[in-house]
Structures are given as C-alpha cells and as structure tokens.
Amino acid sequence: MIKPHGSDKLNPLFVMDAKERDALAKEAESLPSIVVCSAAAANAVMLGSGYFNPLTGFMNKADTLSVAEGMKTASGVFFPVPVVNMIQDASAIKGAKRIALRDPNVEGNPVLAVMDVKAIEELTDDELKMITEKVYRTLDPEHPGVAAFTTVGKVLVSGPIKVLNFSYFDVEFPETFRTAYQIRDEMQKLGWNKVVAFQTRNPMHRAHEELCRMAHADVKADGILIHMLLGKLKKGDIPADVRDAAIRKMVELYFPPNTVLITGYGYDMLYAGPREAVLHAVFRQNCGCTHLIVGRDHAGVGSYYGPFDAQTIFDDIPKGSLEIEIYRADHTAFSKKLGKVIMMKDAPPGHTKDDFVLLSGTKVRTMLAAGEALPPEFARPEVAEILMKYYQSEEGK
C-alpha cells in the first residue's frame, strides 16, 4: 500500500474525538456562520475524509490562482484543482476569526465544519475567467462544471477547518460511503498491497466489468477498489442509489469473493476531464491504491475534451508529483468475432466497428425506458433489470 499524497501519514480533518467534536459543535452554534454552496460542502467532506491530503483547509487566493495556473500551491504542493469555499457575500462573517460552515444539502442547514478564517478575498472577473479556463478548458456556460463554478460567487473564504460530520453521505449510503482512512483500514485487513481503482459515476456495463478484470490481471493486483461518486451530478445522470444497487449485483454474481471493495465518496462531479482525472488519482493514492484505471473520456462531458486527454495530462505533470500509477485503457467493447470483451486497440486485423456491440447512452436509455432488454454482450441481464426499473419509474422518466 503506497503512502498518501504529500505526507507519510494520512491527515483527515474529521474530528475523531467525540468529546472534542461535541465541544466544537456546541461552540459552533454561537459563531458567525454561512451556508456554503454544495461544492464547498463536498470539499469539506473530502477534507474530512482524508481524500484531499495534505491540505489543511480551503485555499486562499494565491494558492487558488497558483493551482489553476500550474497545479501547485504557492508553497509548491502539487494539487490539480483549487479547493475553495466561494460565496456571494461575506458581510455575515466580516471581521470574524472563527466561523461555522453550514450544510446546504441537509434540512435545517446543520453545522458541517468549523473554520479559522485566515483571509476573505475577492476574485476579479479576469481571475475567475482564468481559473475556469485552466481547470475546465472552456468558458462555455453550458458545461455543467463551468455553470456550477461560476455562479456561486467570487469571494474566497480561506483557512484551516475541522470537520464535524460527513453531510448526508454516511446517512444515505451507510453500506457504501467510506473515507480514505476507512478504505486503507479495510484493504489492510484484506492483506491487499497492490490495488487497482476504478472510478465511476455510472452503472457498470460488461465493458467496465472486463476492464477491471484486465487491469487486475495486467498489474497483478491483490484487489479492485470500485469507487463511485455519491454527490451531485448533472441532469440525466443515474442517481447514486440505483448505480450502487446495479454495481453490487454485478460484483455479487460475476466476481470471486473478496476480490472487490465497493465503496463511494462524497463529492460533486466537476466534469473537468483531464484535471479531474488527476484529482481522481490523488483520491486513490490517499486511499492506498497503487493503480488507477483511466479510460476513454475519463471525467469528461459532451465534446469538450479529446478522448484520451485525461491520459496524456499525466505525461505533463512534474515527475514525482504522484506515486500512484495510471492504467491506460482504450475504448472497450464486446467483439462478436472473438466472443469476448476486448480493448478496441487490441483488435486483430480485419476488425471493423460493426464487429463490436456498441450502444450510445441515448440508445441504452431509450431501450430501457421502453422495456427492451439490452444485449447480454453489452450489459449483464441482472444489471439491466435494475436499470430498466429505474427508467420506467416516474423518477427516471
């Protein structure tokens, strides 16, 4: 198991001691407070969970600009995206040295974390534009990540935080939500040293399943970490509880026991393509994984990124920035000629696109909504059944 990013030991910002946590929660009720945006709440959860190691809180303006420009903080710590608490108006906390951060995603807006305020700074329009362009590679307001990032405000509230809870994630997903330190503990108990991680915000079809098997065999891993995003997604993406059920069914039926850990983390999707792929690598190194599968259009959306930009970015980051290794995957699909799932780049001469079972996301959704079975070469029938129930429900229509 490899060491965390940026330190020898993982330093999660969740307050482990119950007495200290209770005392902080009591203190927080009398502190000036702000209801943060969903992205900042998710950042707090990730800081508390240890996924953002070695950060100690929200970045200030200098760090934010430096990370956006060159993927390192002003002091030189490698980090691929700014981790910020951006708000519209700081008048409620003006002059405060210590504040409570309230959760926008839980009824009643309970306190999520306590923060020591080091600076309150405003980004200029040009600075906000630069950050957006560097992180998302586009300024298009139709891009879901850009839309979320550019509409929450331009005021940065920075400083170290102490996290008191994990928002709704451990309550709504008790079997799946895991912190980075919990995953490390579980892998240690299983005796796993070499672990390949698979990131997903979608249900897993046959191609994803086989890709995990390929990577597991190729790197001679002890186990596979299937690690799903549990936070906010764009409209049209499948809810986390449906994905969770589909993935659990697939692993239960088609993987040997004790070879896969099914877990999830509390973060909102950025859809930032290459930059988010590097962030995913940071998460998995902090979990203790040795390899991360990075496939075609990893963390992308629409046509904003090239199909393999999320792989080639790893060629450009400074050597030694991360210890985790990247398993580079091509588009993977079932070959009718060979009778199995392969990476398309490995297809023998004579293979054409027509020799593969390929379905677009739109086609899959249309078939499932109409009650049509997906080809078994594309999706396991038990997985397709779970998805079909969702698409035929009121929620999925």
Which residues are known to be catalytic? 201-202
Tell me the β-bridge partners of 72.
Answer: 78
**CA gap 50, 267 in Å, rounded:** 12
Retrieve residue 83's tokens: 């981790």
- Are residues 297 and 310 in contact, defined by beta-carbon separation less than 8 angstroms? yes
**CA gap 334, 112 in Å, rounded:** 45
How big is the CA angle at 270 (ends 291 and 342), to the nearest 5 degrees? 45
- Give the strand order in the sheet containing 332-335: 340-343, 332-335, 356-357
* Continuous segment of H or E residues that includes residue 279: helix 274-287
How big is the CA angle at 34 (ends 56 and 114), to the nearest 5 degrees? 35
- Report helix angle 274-287 to 180-190, nearest 10: 50
**CA gap 4, 262 in Å, rounded:** 20
Q: Which candidate, 263, 82, 246, places its Cα nearest to that of 185?
A: 263
**CA gap 184, 198 in Å, rounded:** 16
